[in-house]
A = this chain, B = another copy of it.
Amino acid sequence: MSLRDAVARFVHDGDTVVIEGFTHLISFAAGHEIIRQGRRDLTLARLTPDLIYDQMIGAGCARKLVFSWAGNPGVGSLHAFRRAVEGRGATTLEIEEYSHFGMVARLAAGAARLPFWPLRDYAGTDLPRVNPRIRSVTCPYTGETLATVPALNPDVTIVHAQRADAEGNTQIWGLVGVQREAAFAARRVIVVVEELVDETVIRSDPNRTLIPGLVVDAVVLEPWGAHPSYAQGYYDRDNAFYVAWEEISRDPVKLDRYLDDFVRGVPDRTAYLDKHHGLTARLKAKERRSAGVNYGF
Shortest Cβ distance from A24 into chain B, in angstroms?
10
Bitwise interface map of A from 267 to 297 toward B, beta carbon under 8 Å scored 1, else 0: 0000000000000000001111111111111
A173's partner among B148, B174, B293 (CB-CB below 8 A) is: B293
- Interchain CB contact under 8 A, A289 and B285: no
Tell me if A124 counts as interface (CB < 8 A to partner B): no
* Cβ < 8 Å to B, chain A residues 43-68: none
Tell me if A84 counts as interface (CB < 8 A to partner B): no
- Interchain CB contact under 8 A, A141 and B120: no
Tell me the nearest residue of chain B to A233, going by C-beta.
B294
In this complex, the interface size class of chain A, counting residues with CB under 8 Å from chain B, is: 35 or more
A293's partner among B115, B116, B230, B290 (CB-CB below 8 A) is: B290
A233's partner among B141, B142, B289, B295 (CB-CB below 8 A) is: B295
- Interchain CB contact under 8 A, A232 and B292: no
Shortest Cβ distance from A144 into chain B, in angstroms?
6
Shortest Cβ distance from A134 into chain B, in angstroms?
10
Copies of this protein in the assembly total 2
- Interchain CB contact under 8 A, A208 and B174: no
Complex interface: chain B residues within 8 A of A139 (CB): 115-116, 137
Instruction: Decide: A115 near B135, CB < 8 A? Known: A173-B295, A290-B292.
Output: no
CA distance A295 to B208 in the complex (A): 13
Shortest Cβ distance from A74 into chain B, in angstroms?
16
Tell me if A146 counts as interface (CB < 8 A to partner B): yes
CA distance A138 to B237 in the complex (A): 45
- Interchain CB contact under 8 A, B290 and A286: no
Q: Main secondary structure on chain A at its contact with chain B? A: loop
Shortest Cβ distance from A288 into chain B, in angstroms?
4
Complex interface: chain B residues within 8 A of A293 (CB): 162, 173, 208, 233, 289-290
Complex interface: chain B residues within 8 A of A114 (CB): 118-120, 146
Instruction: Decide: A135 near B146, CB < 8 A? Known: A207-B173, A293-B173.
Output: no
Shortest Cβ distance from A126 into chain B, in angstroms?
20
- Interchain CB contact under 8 A, A116 and B136: no
- Interchain CB contact under 8 A, A295 and B288: yes
Bitwise interface map of A from 82 to 124 toward B, beta carbon under 8 Å scored 1, else 0: 0000000000000000000000000000000111101110000
Tell me if A31 counts as interface (CB < 8 A to partner B): no
Q: Which of A114, A115, A204, A297 lies at the interface centre, i.e. has the most chain B CB atoms within 10 A of its CB?
A: A297
Complex interface: chain B residues within 8 A of A233 (CB): 293-297
Shortest Cβ distance from A242 into chain B, in angstroms?
15
Tell me the nearest residue of chain B to A143, going by C-beta.
B115
- Interchain CB contact under 8 A, A113 and B118: no
Complex interface: chain B residues within 8 A of A201 (CB): 291
Tell me if A155 counts as interface (CB < 8 A to partner B): no
- Interchain CB contact under 8 A, A296 and B292: no
- Interchain CB contact under 8 A, B205 and A291: yes
